[in-house]
């Protein structure tokens, strides 16, 4: 009995250390959004201030880069969400010729190094004579994020109770009605999770974006370029705002996906 208790305690300690390791960079980012540096380098604590939250959009180039990243991330999330939902539903619902190859292609896109994918997409765009910019970035982001959406949706579809579809068919519902009235509400939390994942992957991507951006500046590219001359505190403030928005959206999604209790 004692070894088991000791093992449980060790597991708890390990878990909390891992949680602290993951949260620490976020906590530092939030903390230094309140820092009052005297120079351009926001690396040492020099005093508390709230002025950066009032001047968060004072740097026009940084604000423009953030807007570009948000627009690309929203477009990527919507397109990858639609394509990934269809792909995941098809792979989880039916067995068809080519499903194995599609599965292989899907996981290959996930496992492929971003450096390889970015250079390949750059070669493709250059060979086609396609201009590099927001459109090429969006296409590239959709290509690597659609697989993540498909995996999440497929994992939910394979656990569906087929008797629900049979019951709907017995009641006279068409296949289209069954999908929208029965299946879609059940897999909606998985779809939203996939969309949120695609958004997070897009707004945070640097490697593939660096290959396909051309002269377009996104939020990660702007931060990378500014590390040579010093990151302004506005970067921490914007990062905090993005993190807070993600947490809020995750909480709302979790509340939305909870089963509602019927009134007595």
pLDDT digits (tens, 9 = 90+) for 11-63: 888 899 999 998 998 998 888 888 888 766 677 788 888 888 888 888 888 89
Domain boundaries, the chain: 60-231
Higher pLDDT, 2 or 207: 207
Tell me which residue of 166, 165, 146 sits closest to 88, measured CA to CA: 146
Q: What is the pLDDT of residues 165-178, one digit of tens each?
A: 778 777 777 778 88
Whole-number percent of the chain with pLDDT over 70: 93
Q: How far apart are CA 226 and CA 43, in angstroms?
A: 14
* pLDDT class of 261 with cuts at 50, 70, 90: low
2, two tokens: 């004692």
* pLDDT class of 263 with cuts at 50, 70, 90: very low
Q: How far apart are CA 61 and CA 234, in angstroms?
A: 12
Q: What are residue 119's DSSP bridge partners?
A: none
Give the pLDDT of residue 3.
55
* pLDDT class of 236 with cuts at 50, 70, 90: confident
Q: Does the pLDDT at position 94 exceed 50? A: yes
CATH for the 60-231 domain, from 1.10.3720.10, 1.10.730.10, 3.40.50.300, 2.40.50.140: 1.10.3720.10
* pLDDT class of 264 with cuts at 50, 70, 90: very low
Mean pLDDT computed over 218-235: 85
Q: Does the pLDDT at position 5 exceed 50? A: yes
pTM, to two decimals? 0.82
């Amino acid at each position: 009995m004692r070894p088991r208790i000791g093992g449980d305690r060790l597991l708890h300690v390990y878990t909390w250390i891992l949680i602290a390791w993951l949260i620490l960079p976020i906590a530092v980012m939030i903390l230094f959004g309140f820092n009052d540096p005297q120079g351009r380098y926001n690396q040492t604590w020099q005093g508390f201030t709230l002025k950066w939250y009032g001047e968060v959009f004072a740097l026009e180039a940084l604000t423009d880069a953030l807007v570009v990243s948000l627009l690309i991330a929203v477009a990527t999330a919507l397109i990858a969400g639609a394509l990934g939902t269809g792909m995941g539903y098809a792979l989880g619902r039916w067995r068809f010729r080519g499903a194995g190859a599609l599965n292989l292609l899907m996981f290959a896109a996930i496992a492929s190094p971003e450096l390889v994918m970015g250079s390949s997409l750059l070669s493709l765009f250059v060979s086609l004579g396609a201009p590099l910019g927001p459109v090429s970035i969006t296409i590239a982001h959709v290509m690597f994020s659609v697989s993540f959406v498909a995996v999440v949706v497929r994992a939910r579809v394979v656990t569906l109770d087929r008797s629900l579809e049979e019951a709907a068919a017995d009641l006279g519902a068409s296949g289209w009605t069954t999908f929208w009235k029965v299946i879609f509400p059940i897999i909606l939390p998985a779809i939203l999770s996939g969309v949120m994942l695609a958004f997070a992957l897009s707004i945070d991507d640097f490697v593939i974006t660096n290959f396909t951006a051309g002269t377009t500046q996104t939020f990660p590219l702007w931060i990378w370029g500014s590390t040579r001359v010093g990151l302004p505190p506005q970067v921490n403030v914007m990062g905090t705002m993005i993190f807070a928005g993600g947490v809020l959206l995750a909480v709302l999604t979790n509340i939305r996906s909870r089963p509602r209790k019927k009134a007595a």
